């Protein structure tokens, strides 16, 4: 293809791809993010339970909560970059803050995988947050 | 064997594995050289092996032949000892100039301990 | 006595070798989404791979030719080359995913950085391949993979509703999300019937010098080995259904799979699960790597096999080494192994007919097989599964797109 055609193609594609990141949030898309958040928080609670009871290895807790935390951060970023209207906007803001809290708690577990008291506290926090995310997803 | 039977056999061996007299795998039947097609009594007179031969096997064959090195090797039909799931030859691969790709590749591997 | 021991060893190797990263991912995801409803699909898949492998093993034992010999012979140079290219691409994707899986498990066990562990995994695999005789490769990874039996213990300890489990073994449609259900059914079948398993098995039969006298061993190996391997798949799905589904956990990580054993069984469950996954996936990586090399060698007529030693089969040796390097490059890009696995399984399902049909044809060819050609029972099952495979192959990619890889 001639050079001009390539340039036109790039100029068309670039703005389109830039728009892809944000934009309006549909109910379906929000539901997916909220369910994902519930999943990450629930799984984090399971990992924290294991740590609190001393029934797991610190390495596993540290590595796995890092992956979970990164995923929670991605949910937060996705929700932050989108816009909704009316009731959905309210939910979006709550979910975004929830995701931030979940990511933060998972980060704490990642940094202190041997702290059983901390893990015990965070396990019940994460379970509450999973319930909250589930309610938001409905 | 009648020429028709021979031809059936020949076509039946296309794309089959070639095995030399020592049991070594040394290529595939990439194509066949026929004789007497115009006269109406076709006969297989040789097996053809090698990347240049693939060009006669359709456009994918031409495509494949771009990536491979090697020359055509002609194996006269008389060198065929027996045909079952593979084509077994009377002589060794070296004598028939087959399997040279592996001979060339060997120097990349044989210096490593345990090869 | 020797025969019994041989059978036992072969079966053990097969069980451990049955579960690869595709089975881990799809069985756990299916369980977390649909509970026990898809257990019957695992049964269909296990019977399918038994039928397919038995034929491939029989063809190889009788004719000394493996799957890709048959593919070139029946499909010709052109279509055969297409089958070769597509199988190599899928093989490479699968190999990269398995290597990534090994690195992830090593990270969960050691805490060392993921990227460094990828390199370590590749070097370790290359070393094991180079140094070990063929049977020992299978034995090491097969026995290590037996640690996955911990999931069976864990599943029982989670007290699933056994009535629902039983109901799941009976074929039925889902109560909701029919398309997602169909996607997971396709994925489970694909994970159970991955082509590289038969490339490897048939070539392995030639490597171990089997003859028609070993056909009984062939049948015992595939039935008990894959059957018990299917039992492991059950354990994974039941674990996910009992633990993850009620909590709404959507498995995305290898660590999540291990969590399925940690929760009911504590630290020992976790360690056994991780070790089991390590050996199962590591063994699968070697099988996949070799399959790629076997396919190339068989298609082009090169000498092949570990039993020929590297200098006896130089192009074959170079081929598997290059495949490892390519897998290294792919997984180093940071692509998620779990996501790569999902694509690899779906694409391998699409390519499955191209490799299944030639084998079904060859297995029926009396000039090839003599009196060991397919009987009526083998053909009944063979044709039944041809239909299953065609349906699944045609619907795989549309389902993947419509359901957004099962996310609905």
Q: Each residue of C310-369: pLDDT tens digit? A: 989 999 999 999 999 999 999 999 999 999 999 999 999 999 998 899 999 999 988 888
Instruction: Check C315 against B112: CB less than 8 A apart.
Output: no
pLDDT greater than 80 at residue A26: yes
Q: Tally the domains of chain A.
A: 1
- Chain B residue closest in CA terms to C59: B85
Q: Does A72 touch chain C (CB under 8 A)?
A: no
Domain boundaries, chain C: 2-402
Region A41-64: mean pLDDT is: 97
Please list every residue in chain B whose beta carbon sits closer than 8 Å to the beta carbon of residue C300: 27-28
Please list every residue in chain C whose beta carbon sits closer than 8 Å to the beta carbon of residue B49: 301
Distance CA C304, CA C293 (A): 8
Q: Each residue of B28-74: pLDDT tens digit? A: 999 999 888 788 777 889 999 999 999 888 888 888 888 888 889 99
Region C271-300: mean pLDDT is: 94
Q: Does C318 touch chain B (CB under 8 A)?
A: yes
- Chain C residue closest in CA terms to B12: C73
Pull the structure tokens for residue C301. Answer: 């007529």
- Chain centroid, CA C158 distance in Å: 27
Q: Which CATH architecture has domain B3-109?
A: Roll (2.30)
Region C162-190: mean pLDDT is: 93
Please list every residue in chain C whose beta carbon sits closer than 8 Å to the beta carbon of residue B114: 130-131, 310
Distance CA A123, CA A107 (A): 13
CB C301 within 8 A of CB C328: no
pTM for the full predicted model: 0.91
Region C134-160: mean pLDDT is: 90
Please list every residue in chain A whose beta carbon sits closer than 8 Å to the beta carbon of residue C255: 60, 63-64, 67
> How distant, in Å, are the alpha carbons of A16, A83, A86 from that of A19?
5, 12, 22
Non-local (6+) Cβ contacts of C374 within 8 A are C55, C360, C363, C364, C382
Q: Each residue of B74-86: pLDDT tens digit? A: 999 999 998 888 8
Neighbours of chain B (3+ CB pairs under 8 A): C
Is residue A93 in a domain?
A: yes
Task: Annotate C230-283 with DSSP letters as a single string.
Answer: HHHHHHHHHHHHHHHHHHT----SHHHHHHHHHHHHHHHHHHHHHHHHHHHHHH
Is residue A61 in a domain?
A: yes
ipTM of this complex prediction, to 2 decimal places: 0.92
Please report which helix (H) or strand (E) contains residue C390, including its range: helix C376-402
C232-243 burial, b if ≥16 CB within 10 A, otherwise e? bbbbbbbbbbbb
* Residues counted in chain A: 138
Q: Each residue of C40-92: pLDDT tens digit? A: 999 999 999 999 999 999 999 999 889 899 888 888 888 899 999 999 999 99
pLDDT greater than 90 at residue C143: no
Are C and A close enough to touch, i.e. 3+ CB pairs under 8 angstroms? Answer: yes
Distance CA B17, CA C298 (A): 8
User: Nearest CA to CA, how far is A79 from chain C (Å)?
Assistant: 18
pLDDT greater than 80 at residue B106: yes
Instruction: Check C82 against B60: CB less than 8 A apart.
Output: yes
Distance CA C37, CA C41 (A): 9
Q: Which CATH architecture has domain C2-402?
A: Up-down Bundle (1.20)
Region C102-114: mean pLDDT is: 97
């Amino acid at each position: 293809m001639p050079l001009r055609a390539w340039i036109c193609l790039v100029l068309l594609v670039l703005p389109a791809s830039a728009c892809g990141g944000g934009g309006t949030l549909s109910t379906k898309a929000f539901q997916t993010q909220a369910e994902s958040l519930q999943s990450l928080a629930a799984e984090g609670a399971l990992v924290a339970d294991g740590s609190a009871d001393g029934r797991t290895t610190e390495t596993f807790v540290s590595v796995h909560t890092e992956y979970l935390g990164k995923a929670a951060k991605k949910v937060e970023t996705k929700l932050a970059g989108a816009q909704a209207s009316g009731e959905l906007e309210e939910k979006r803001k709550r979910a975004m803050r929830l995701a931030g809290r979940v990511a933060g708690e998972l980060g704490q577990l990642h940094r202190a995988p041997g702290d059983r008291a901390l893990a015990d506290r965070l396990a019940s926090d994460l379970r509450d947050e999973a319930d909250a995310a589930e309610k938001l997803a409905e | 064997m009648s020429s028709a039977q021979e031809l059936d056999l020949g076509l039946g061996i296309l794309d089959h594995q070639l095995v030399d007299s020592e049991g070594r795998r040394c290529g595939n039947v990439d194509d066949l050289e026929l004789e007497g097609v115009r006269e109406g009594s076709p006969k297989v007179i040789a097996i053809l092996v090698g990347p240049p031969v693939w060009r006669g096997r359709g456009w994918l064959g031409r495509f494949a032949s771009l990536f491979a090195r090697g020359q055509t090797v002609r194996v006269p039909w008389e060198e065929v000892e027996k045909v079952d799931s593979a084509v077994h030859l009377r002589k060794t691969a070296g004598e028939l100039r087959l399997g040279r790709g592996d001979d060339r590749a060997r120097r990349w591997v044989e210096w490593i301990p345990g090869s | 006595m020797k025969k019994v021991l041989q059978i036992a060893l072969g079966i053990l190797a097969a069980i451990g070798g049955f579960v690869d990263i595709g089975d881990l991912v799809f069985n756990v995801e299916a369980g977390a989404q649909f509970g026990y409803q898809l257990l019957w699909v695992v049964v269909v898949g296990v019977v399918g791979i038994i039928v397919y492998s038995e034929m491939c093993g029989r063809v190889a034992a009788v004719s000394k030719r493996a799957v890709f010999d048959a593919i070139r012979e029946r499909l010709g140079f052109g279509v055969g080359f297409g089958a070769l290219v597509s199988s190599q691409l899928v093989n490479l994707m699968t190999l990269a995913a398995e290597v990534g899986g090994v690195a992830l498990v090593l990270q969960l066990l050691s805490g060392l950085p993921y990227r460094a562990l990828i390199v370590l995994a590749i070097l370790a695999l290359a070393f094991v391949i180079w140094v070990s005789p063929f049977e020992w490769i299978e034995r090491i990874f097969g026995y290590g993979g037996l640690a996955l039996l911990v999931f069976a213990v864990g599943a029982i300890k989670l007290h699933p509703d056994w009535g629902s489990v039983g109901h799941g073994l009976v074929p039925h449609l889902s109560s909701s999300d029919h398309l997602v259900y169909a996607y997971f059914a396709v994925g489970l079948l694909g994970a159970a019937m991955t082509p590289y398993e038969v490339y490897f098995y048939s070539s392995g039969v030639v490597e171990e010098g089997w003859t028609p006298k070993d056909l009984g061993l062939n049948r015992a190996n595939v039935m008990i080995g894959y059957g018990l391997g299917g039992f492991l798949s059950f354990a994974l799905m039941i674990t996910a259904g009992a633990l993850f589904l009620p909590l709404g956990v959507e498995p995305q990580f290898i660590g999540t799979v291990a969590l399925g054993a940690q929760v009911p069984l504590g630290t020992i469950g976790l360690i056994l699960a991780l070790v089991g996954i390590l050996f199962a996936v590591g063994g699968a990586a070697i099988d996949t790597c070799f399959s790629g090399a076997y396919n190339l060698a068989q298609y082009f007529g090169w000498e092949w096999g570990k039993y020929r030693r590297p200098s006896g089969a130089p192009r074959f040796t170079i081929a598997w080494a290059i495949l490892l390097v390519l897998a290294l490059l792919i997984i180093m890009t940071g692509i998620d192994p779990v996501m790569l696995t999902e694509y690899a399984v779906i694409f391998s399902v699409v390519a499955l007919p191209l490799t299944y049909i030639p084998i079904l044809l060859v297995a029926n060819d009396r000039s090839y097989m003599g009196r060991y050609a397919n009987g009526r029972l083998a053909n009944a099952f063979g044709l039944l599964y041809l239909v299953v495979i065609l349906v699944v192959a045609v619907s795989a990619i549309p389902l993947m797109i419509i359901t957004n890889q099962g996310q609905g």
